[in-house]
Structure 1
């Protein structure tokens, strides 16, 4: 059974309303949480590509990438929980696991189910909420993994019309 139904939430996957790359985050995180996410990605065998600038590198340990020199480029980890769905993790700070998803890819019930499954996997591993906000607005989550409900739930009213 699906956590969310496409017809109920498709407004939150409209790039014109939400921005093409909404922010997905795990607040109140730690270096250990980042490492747990990296371990989860490896365990699940999700295809991924770590890079710093134009250089592709092996995925490092979380503490290595989070405590890089201040003038170093911000690395990214591109993860595909399915061939059609891409998550781009950015290693900005150890206090928040954050990544972007491309809403142009997240269209329809099948891809929504993959996305919700991805949020569930991360939330269950960390035992923390995983929240999706409109691009550039990280104070108003519209949906997210709820630890107590053990599923992805709506956190805002969908826009009708």
Structure 2
């Protein structure tokens, strides 16, 4: 299922315009939502790697990760929904699931479809929107999964109007 057409949105996937690592987020989240994402990764059998600093570890429960000491290194979970698309989740706060993607990996319709499918899986599991903001422009999403229409939609004009 194609949510978005590459020719309509390729401007939003231009690393020079959007920054190479846009912010993808699920606002108004909870520890339970983080755990649901971890469970989804396991259920889908997506390749993943959890680490704290440079140390790779088994994926813990979300509650354990999010209750770490304030001065502890920020853990990350690298998830590959396909071999050539990587999402890096960072456990910065329990009230927002956030991750980065590299726009240089998301070029063309095929990769866009993988990305939209990934957003759909997360959004459906949580029953919440999944939003993509340009790098460093938090709060101004350009596209995202909309729970009501059950698909990824545009939230900004790709022509910049």
Structure 2 unpaired stretches of 5+ = none
Runs of 4+ in structure 1 off by over 4 angstroms are none
Shift of 1:75: 0.6
Distance between the aligned counterparts of 1:92 and 1:29, measured in 2?
Answer: 12
Query: Secondary structure of the residue that 1:81 maps to in structure 2?
Result: strand
Distance between the aligned counterparts of 1:105 and 1:47, measured in 2?
Answer: 16
Superposed CA RMSD: 0.7
1:68 is aligned to 2:71: no
2:94 is matched with 94
Distance between the aligned counterparts of 1:49 and 1:16, measured in 2?
Answer: 28
Distance between the aligned counterparts of 2:20 and 2:47, measured in 1?
Answer: 22
Distance between the aligned counterparts of 1:144 and 1:5, measured in 2?
Answer: 14
2:49 is matched with 49
1:24 is matched with 24
1:77 is matched with 77
Distance between the aligned counterparts of 1:8 and 1:92, measured in 2?
Answer: 33
Structure-1-length-normalised TM-score: 0.98
- For these two proteins, the number of residue pairs brought into alignment is 160
Structure-2-length-normalised TM-score: 0.98
1:106 is matched with 106
